Structure 1
Amino acid sequence: MASRADNIASNLNLGNFAKATELKQRIWFTIGALIVFRFLSFVPLPGVNPLILSELYQQTRGGILDLFNAFSGGSLERMSLIALGVMPYITASIVVQMASALHPTLSALKKEGASGRQKLNQYTRYGTVLLCMIQGYAIAVGLESFAAQNGLAAVVNPGPMFRVVSVINLVGGTMFLLWLGEQITSRGIGNGISLIIMAGIVAQFPSFASNLFEGGRTGSIAPWVIIAFLVMVVALILLISFMERAQRRLTIQYPKRATQRGMMQAERSYLPLKINTAGVIPPIFASSLLLLPLTITQFAGTSVDTDSQFYSVLQGLNQYLAHGQPLYMILYAIGIIFFCFFYTAVVFNPEETADNLKKNGGSIPGIRPGKRTADYLEYVLTRITVVGALYLTIVCVVPEYMIAQTGIPLFLGGTSLLIVVNVTVDTISQIQSHLLALQYGDLIKKAKLKGRMR
Structure 2
Amino acid sequence: IIEGFPAAVARTWESFLADQIQLIAVVFLVAILISITAAVVAMTMASRKIPVQIPRKVVGRGRIREGQKSFVPLRINSAGVMPIIFAQSFIVVPGTVAQFAGQTGGILDMISDIFQPGTVYYICYALLIIFFTYFYTAIIFNPVDLSENLKKQGAFIPGVKPGARTAEYIDRVLTRVTLPGSAYLAFIALVPFWIFAFFNIQTFFFGGTALLIVVGVGLDTVQQAQQHLLLRHYDGFMKKGRVKMRGRSQYS
SS in structure 1 at match of 2:112:
helix
CA contact (8 A) 1:255 1:362 kept: yes
1:330-368 residue CA offsets vs partner (Å, 9 max, x unmatched): 211111111111111121121222122223322111100
CA contact (8 A) 1:350 1:378 kept: yes
Q: Give 1:416 shift.
A: 0.7
The answer to which structure, 1 or 2, has the higher relative contact order (CA under 8 A, 6+ apart) is 2
CA contact (8 A) 2:196 2:205 kept: no
CA contact (8 A) 1:237 1:417 kept: yes
The two structures have a TM-score, normalised by structure 2, of: 0.87
- Alignment match, 1:279: 80
Matched, 1:230 2:24: no
1:42-78 residue CA offsets vs partner (Å, 9 max, x unmatched): xxxxxxxxxxxxxxxxxxxxxxxxxxxxxxxxxxxxx
Matched, 1:332 2:96: no
Q: Give 1:306 shift.
A: 2.9
- Percent identity (aligned): 36
CA contact (8 A) 2:47 2:76 kept: yes
Q: Give 1:265 shift.
A: 2.1
* Cα separation, partners in 2 of 1:213 and 1:297, compared to 1, 3 Å: farther
CA contact (8 A) 2:51 2:157 kept: yes
- Alignment match, 1:354: 147
Aligned residues: 245
1:366-398 residue CA offsets vs partner (Å, 9 max, x unmatched): 100112111110111011111211211221111
1:136-155 equivalences under 5 Å are none
- Alignment match, 1:321: 115
SS in structure 2 at match of 1:202:
coil
Matching residue's letter, 2:161: R
Greater per-residue helix proportion: 1
- Alignment match, 1:385: 178
The two structures have a TM-score, normalised by structure 1, of: 0.50
- Alignment match, 1:266: 67
Matched, 1:420 2:214: yes
CA contact (8 A) 1:257 1:267 kept: no
Q: Which runs of 5+ in 2 are unaligned?
A: none
Q: Give 1:263 shift.
A: 5.5
- Over 6 Å off, 4+ runs: none
**Mapped partners of 1:372, 1:449: distance in 2:** 44
**Mapped partners of 2:2, 2:126: distance in 1:** 25
1:143-184 residue CA offsets vs partner (Å, 9 max, x unmatched): xxxxxxxxxxxxxxxxxxxxxxxxxxxxxxxxxxxxxxxxxx
1:24-173 equivalences under 5 Å are none
RMSD: 2.5
Greater CA deviation, 351-360 or 230-239?
Answer: 351-360
1:246-271 residue CA offsets vs partner (Å, 9 max, x unmatched): 11121222331248996662133321
**Mapped partners of 1:400, 1:212: distance in 2:** 17
